C-alpha cells in the first residue's frame, strides 16, 4: 500500500466534522506551527518539501511563497484556488467534500506563514453544496479557537472567507480569479506585476491550489525533508489523480509520484485496468488541456523506458512524444472512442470558456471548433487538417493567459498522433458521421 498524505483518513466516518478530524490528529500541525514556529520557519519547511503547484502549473510552492512582497502597513492575502473545472479533473471536489478540515487546516498554516490575516477560498459556484460544507467546517474551527481573533492565544488573527464563483473555467487562472474575487468579469491580467507584488486589491497575494495547501499539515507534522523523501526526483510527495473514462474503477486516487503509468492504469489498487474486453487506445494524463498520447507512447517513453507518473517522466520527449502531469486528470480512451469527436468536444469546451479578451483565443477557439465540427459531421476537406494545425500555432503563446495554449494543445496533439483518423473522417464522410462510428484502421493498441 502506498503512503497516503491527503487521503489517509478520508474514509473515516464523520471525518467532515471537527471532532472526528481532530481525533485523527487534525489541527496538531496548526498548534505546532503557531505555538512553536516562526512564519519564516514554516515557509522554509514548504521549500524543503519541494511540493509543487497541484493545480497544473507544477511551480514549487515554497519558492512562490518566497516571492511574496512584504511592504510595511499593507495587508497580504492568501487565496485558495478551488475553481477546479478542467475536464477530467475532480480531485479538489473530492477532497473538499470529504475532508474539508484538511483544507481549512492547511489554510491556517499557510496564512500564518505568509502573514495574511484574511484569506479566501474561491470555489466554483457549481459546487454550492461543497461551499456549505466548507462554511460549516470554518464555523466549527472558529468555535474551537482555531480561526478568528487571537488563535490559540498566539495573538495571530485569521478570518477565512469562502467565495462562490459564477461558472467560468477561466477563473481557475490566478489573475482572472482575483478579478472575479473583486466582483468583476474573470478577465486575466497582464503579468507582471505578478500577484506576489500586486494581487488582490493591489496587495501582495499568493494563489495556491486546494491540494497544494492541503499538504501543509503533513509537511508541518513530519517535516519538509520527510515529504521530499517521498516521490521521485523533483516530483516530491504524493499526488491526487482523478481517473475517468474507459476504466474498471473511475475515481480519485492518491499515488506516490513515480509509480508507473502501467501500474496506475492496471493495478487493482488504482484504476483496475481497461474495461473488460477492450484495449487502451489513447490517454490524456493531466486534464483536457495536456497533449493526448496514443497507447504506446503513454506506457513507454520514446527511449523505451517505462513512463512514470511524475512531472519529468510524463513530459519526457516534449510535445513530440510526451505530455504533462498537469492537474492529474487521467482520462482513458479504449478502442471505442472516436478521437475526432473527442477533440471537437474539448474544442467546444475551450471556445465556450474563452473570456474573449485576446483575439487569437476568442476567434481561434471558435474557428477550431467549427472546423472540427465539420470534419466530425462529414463535411471536412483535407485542407482542414493543416488549417487546424495552423490555427493552433497562431493561438499558442499569443494570449495573455495560458487558456490559449490549453485550447491549442489537445487539437495539435490529436492531429500529431491520430492524423489518419482525421483523414478517414474526411475521405469516408458518410460512414464516419454515423453515431458511434470509430476508425478501425491501424492503431497502436495496448
Partner 1 sequence: MTETPNLVAFTPERLEKVKEIIARYPEGRQKSALLPVLHVAQEQWGWLSSEVMDYVAGILSIEPVEVYEVATFYTMYHLDPVGKHVIEYCRTGPCCLMGGEDVYGHLKKKLGIDAGQTTTDGLFTLKEVECLAACGWGPVFQIREQFYMNLTNDKVDEIIEELSK
Provide the minimum distance between the beta carbon of 182 and partner 1 in the complex, in angstroms, as a whole number. Answer: 6
Provide the minimum distance between the beta carbon of 224 and partner 1 in the complex, in angstroms, as a whole number. Answer: 30
Q: Which is nearer to partner 1, 35 or 132 (CB)?
A: 132
Q: Assign residue 439 a region (left: φ > 0; alpha: ψ between -120 and 50; beta: otherwise).
A: beta
Give DSSP secondary structure letters for 372-403: HHHHHTT---HHHHHHHHHHHHHHTT-SSSTH
Q: Which is nearer to partner 1, 64 or 281 (CB)?
A: 281
Site string for partner 1, 278-317 (x = CB under 8 A): ----------x-----------------------------
> Quick one: cell of 175?
489573475
Among 201, 229, 393, 434, binds partner 1 (CB under 8 A): 201
Question: Looking only at residues 122 through 181 of this chain, which bind partner 1 when binding is defined by CB under 8 A?
Answer: 124-129, 132, 159, 161, 163-169, 180-181
Q: Which is nearer to partner 1, 147 or 355 (CB)?
A: 355
Provide the minimum distance between the beta carbon of 88 and partner 1 in the complex, in angstroms, as a whole number. Answer: 5
358 alpha carbon, distance to own chain's centre: 23
Among 254, 353, 384, 421, binds partner 1 (CB under 8 A): 353
Q: Does 349 bind partner 1 (CB under 8 A)?
A: yes
Site string for partner 1, 17-46 (x = CB under 8 A): ------------------------------
**Residue 431 exposure: Cα atoms within 13 Å on the Cβ side:** 11
Site string for partner 1, 218-257 (x = CB under 8 A): ------------------------xxxxx---xxx-----
Among 19, 139, 157, 182, binds partner 1 (CB under 8 A): 182
265 alpha carbon, distance to own chain's centre: 19
Q: Which is nearer to partner 1, 33 or 160 (CB)?
A: 160
Q: Are 287 and 239 in contact (CB under 8 A)?
A: no
Helices (H) and strands (E) in the chain, counts: 20, 11
Phi, psi of 386 (to 5 degrees): -70, -35
The strand pairing partners of 163, in sequence order, are: 122
Among 24, 296, 345, 398, binds partner 1 (CB under 8 A): 345
Q: How far apart are CA 46 and CA 218, in angstroms?
A: 11
| Contact window for partner 1 (CB under 8 A) among 55-63, 108-116, 255-263, 347-355 | 347-355
Q: Are 279 and 334 in contact (CB under 8 A)?
A: yes
Q: Does 273 bind partner 1 (CB under 8 A)?
A: no
Q: Does 183 bind partner 1 (CB under 8 A)?
A: yes
- Collapsing DSSP to helix, strand or coil, 443 comes out as coil
| Contact window for partner 1 (CB under 8 A) among 21-29, 37-45, 227-235, 346-354 | 346-354
Q: How far apart are CA 350 and CA 356, in angstroms?
A: 11
Provide the minimum distance between the beta carbon of 244 and partner 1 in the complex, in angstroms, as a whole number. Answer: 4
Q: Dmax of the chain from CA atoms?
A: 73
Q: Does 264 bind partner 1 (CB under 8 A)?
A: no
Cis peptide before 192 (omega within 30 of 0): yes
Number of Cβ atoms within 10 Å of the Cβ of 267:
13
> Quick one: cell of 419?
492524423
> Quick one: cell of 226?
520527510
Q: Are 123 and 171 in contact (CB under 8 A)?
A: no
Q: How far apart are CA 174 and CA 186, in angstroms?
A: 10
Provide the minimum distance between the beta carbon of 439 and partner 1 in the complex, in angstroms, as a whole number. Answer: 16
E strand or H helix that includes residue 237: none
Among 4, 185, 379, 416, binds partner 1 (CB under 8 A): 185
Find the helix packing angle between 100-114 and 128-143, rounded to 10°: 60
Q: Which is nearer to partner 1, 29 or 200 (CB)?
A: 200
Residues that bind partner 1 (CB under 8 A): 75, 84-90, 92-93, 118, 124-129, 132, 159, 161, 163-169, 180-186, 201, 242-246, 250-252, 288, 329, 331, 333, 337, 341-342, 345-346, 348-349, 352-353, 355
Amino acid at each position: 500500500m502506498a503512503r497516503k498524505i491527503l487521503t489517509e483518513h478520508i474514509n473515516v466516518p464523520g471525518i467532515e466534522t471537527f471532532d472526528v478530524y481532530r481525533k485523527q490528529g487534525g489541527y496538531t500541525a496548526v498548534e505546532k506551527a503557531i505555538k512553536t514556529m516562526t512564519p519564516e520557519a514554516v515557509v522554509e519547511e514548504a521549500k524543503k518539501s519541494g511540493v509543487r503547484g497541484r493545480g497544473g502549473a507544477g511551480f514549487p510552492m515554497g519558492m512562490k511563497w518566497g516571492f511574496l512582497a512584504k511592504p510595511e502597513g499593507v495587508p497580504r492575502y492568501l487565496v485558495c484556488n478551488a475553481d477546479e473545472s478542467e475536464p477530467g479533473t475532480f480531485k479538489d471536489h473530492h477532497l473538499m467534500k470529504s475532508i474539508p478540515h484538511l483544507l481549512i487546516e492547511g489554510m491556517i498554516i499557510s496564512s500564518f506563514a505568509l502573514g495574511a490575516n484574511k484569506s479566501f477560498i474561491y470555489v466554483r459556484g457549481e459546487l454550492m453544496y461543497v461551499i456549505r460544507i466548507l462554511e460549516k467546517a470554518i464555523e466549527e474551527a472558529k468555535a474551537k479557537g482555531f480561526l478568528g481573533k487571537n488563535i490559540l492565544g498566539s495573538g495571530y488573527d485569521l478570518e477565512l472567507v469562502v467565495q462562490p464563483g459564477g461558472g467560468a473555467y477561466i477563473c481557475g487562472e490566478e489573475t482572472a480569479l482575483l478579478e472575479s474575487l473583486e466582483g468583476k468579469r474573470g478577465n486575466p491580467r497582464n503579468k507582471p506585476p505578478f500577484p506576489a507584488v500586486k494581487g488582490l486589491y493591489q496587495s501582495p497575494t499568493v494563489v495556491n491550489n486546494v491540494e497544494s495547501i492541503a499538504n501543509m499539515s503533513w509537511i508541518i507534522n513530519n517535516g519538509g525533508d520527510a515529504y521530499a523523501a517521498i516521490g521521485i526526483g523533483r516530483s516530491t510527495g504524493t499526488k491526487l489523480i482523478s481517473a475517468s473514462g474507459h476504466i474498471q474503477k473511475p475515481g480519485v486516487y492518491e499515488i506516490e509520484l513515480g509509480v508507473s503509468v502501467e501500474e496506475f492504469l492496471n493495478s487493482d489498487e488504482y484504476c483496475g485496468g481497461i474495461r473488460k474486453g477492450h484495449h487502451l487506445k489513447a490517454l490524456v494524463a493531466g486534464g483536457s488541456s495536456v497533449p493526448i498520447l496514443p497507447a504506446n507512447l503513454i506506457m513507454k517513453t520514446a527511449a523505451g523506458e517505462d513512463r512514470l507518473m511524475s512531472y519529468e517522466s510524463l513530459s519526457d520527449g516534449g510535445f513530440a512524444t510526451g505530455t504533462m502531469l498537469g492537474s492529474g486528470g487521467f482520462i482513458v480512451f479504449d478502442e471505442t472512442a472516436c478521437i475526432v469527436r473527442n477533440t471537437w468536444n474539448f474544442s467546444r469546451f475551450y471556445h465556450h470558456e474563452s473570456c474573449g479578451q485576446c483575439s487569437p483565443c476568442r476567434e481561434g477557439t471558435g474557428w477550431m471548433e467549427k472546423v472540427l465540427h465539420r470534419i466530425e459531421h462529414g463535411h471536412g476537406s483535407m485542407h482542414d487538417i493543416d488549417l487546424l494545425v495552423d490555427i493552433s500555432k497562431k493561438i499558442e503563446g499569443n494570449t495573455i493567459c495560458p487558456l490559449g495554449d490549453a485550447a491549442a494543445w489537445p487539437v495539435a496533439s490529436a492531429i500529431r498522433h491520430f492524423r489518419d483518423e482525421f483523414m478517414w473522417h474526411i475521405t469516408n464522410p458518410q460512414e464516419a458521421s454515423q453515431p458511434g462510428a470509430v476508425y478501425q484502421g491501424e492503431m497502436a493498441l495496448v
